[in-house]
Amino acid sequence: MSSPTVLVVDDTPASLGVVCDALRRQGVRVLLADSGEAARAVLARTRPDLVLLDVVMPGEDGFAVCASLQADARWRELPVIFLTAIDAPEQKVRAFNAGAVDYVTKPVHVAELVARVHVQLELRAARQKLEAQNAELEAEVAIRLDAEAQLAGSLDRAVVVLSRGRELVFATRLAHDLIAKFALKPAALAAGGRFAGGEGALQVRRFTSPGHDETVMLVLEEEHAPPGPAALCALGLTPRQAEVAYWVAQGKTNPEIGLILAASPRTIDKHMERILARLALEGRAALMLHAGEKLRPAR
């Protein structure tokens, strides 16, 4: 990890020489600037972790310098500790309103100032670590949501994810349908195998090996199952259009299809318009016949 960097902005930097030396002895890199203009020139070249800013300087005072930092998105989160010989309450309020995180009066007590600097550096490091963790978590969540969306939208796969306690964590729509059809408890699927039912049999294959069971991923395959929505993709339909056409072939209305696919009836209406146009069909009845032919089990 690199050493923290502190930028000291004071028109008489020598007056803080003892403080700078104390910070350097503790591994802090110290940069110096004698005006707001010089400070911005330093900031253009490097990125400090904290600014020690004198309030009373000729020309642009510390409040103006701090305001310019606050106005720039690059430096808005940069902690600023004001240094001043003025120990007036209204000045302290003005400093905090300007965006300062602390206010130290001169003459400076070296040990106290160094301690205050370290507190702010530790807070900044903790905040940056938390932001990095949050960004990583957000990226992980986005990836997982995308993966779940792809799995849940799968037309030809019945995928189930179980927790270590054999509770259902995730299942695609087809998997839910098969679990209900064969009246199975999710925990019963964990070992895999073949499950017979009144309407056929279900083959369950396990993706993860028994020694690695934080979660268990299973694929369910119905033996001799009739063609599903995926078969209609061969007509040139998108996966979503194939799902809509499949349920039309099953005699479902647009509102019913909307409930099944978790979409609004208006969205289903738009899909229907595009399906009929793509397949050059005149209406719903024609689509039912056309899709029904494709969904007829092979002999």
Residue boundaries of the structural domains of the chain: 5-131, 153-222, 229-295
Please report, to the nearest 10 degrees, the dihedral formed by the alpha carbons of residues 162, 184, 177, 228 taken in order.
100
Report which residue type is found at 87: D
Is the domain spanning 229-295 CATH 1.10.10.10? The answer is yes
Beta-carbon contacts of 143 under 8 Å, excluding residues fewer than 6 positions away, are none
Q: What is the pLDDT of residue 145?
A: 64
Q: What is the pLDDT of residue 187?
A: 82
Nearest to 171 by CA among 138, 185, 61: 185
Q: What is the pLDDT of residue 227?
A: 79
Nearest to 100 by CA among 69, 61, 140: 69
**Predicted structure pTM score:** 0.47
Q: Regarding the domain delimited by 5-131, which CATH topology (the fold level of the hierarchy) does it fall under?
A: Rossmann fold (3.40.50)
Q: What is the pLDDT of residue 156?
A: 61
**pLDDT tens per residue across all 299 residues of the chain:** 578 999 999 888 777 788 888 889 988 999 998 888 999 999 999 999 999 998 888 888 889 899 889 888 888 889 999 988 888 888 888 888 888 899 888 888 888 888 999 899 999 889 888 888 887 787 667 656 655 655 555 556 788 888 878 888 888 878 888 888 888 888 888 888 888 876 678 889 887 555 555 678 888 888 777 777 878 888 888 888 888 999 999 999 999 998 888 788 888 999 999 999 999 999 999 999 998 888 876 55
> At what angle are helices 36-45 and 62-71 packed, to 10 degrees?
30
Task: Give residue 236's region: left, alpha or beta (phi > 0; psi -120 to 50).
Answer: left
Say how far apart CA 122 and CA 169 lie, in whole Å. 39
Strands 29-33 and 200-206: unpaired
Q: What angle do CA 260, 265, 270 make, to 5 degrees?
A: 110
> Per-residue DSSP letters for 21-37?
HHHHHTT-EEEEESSHH
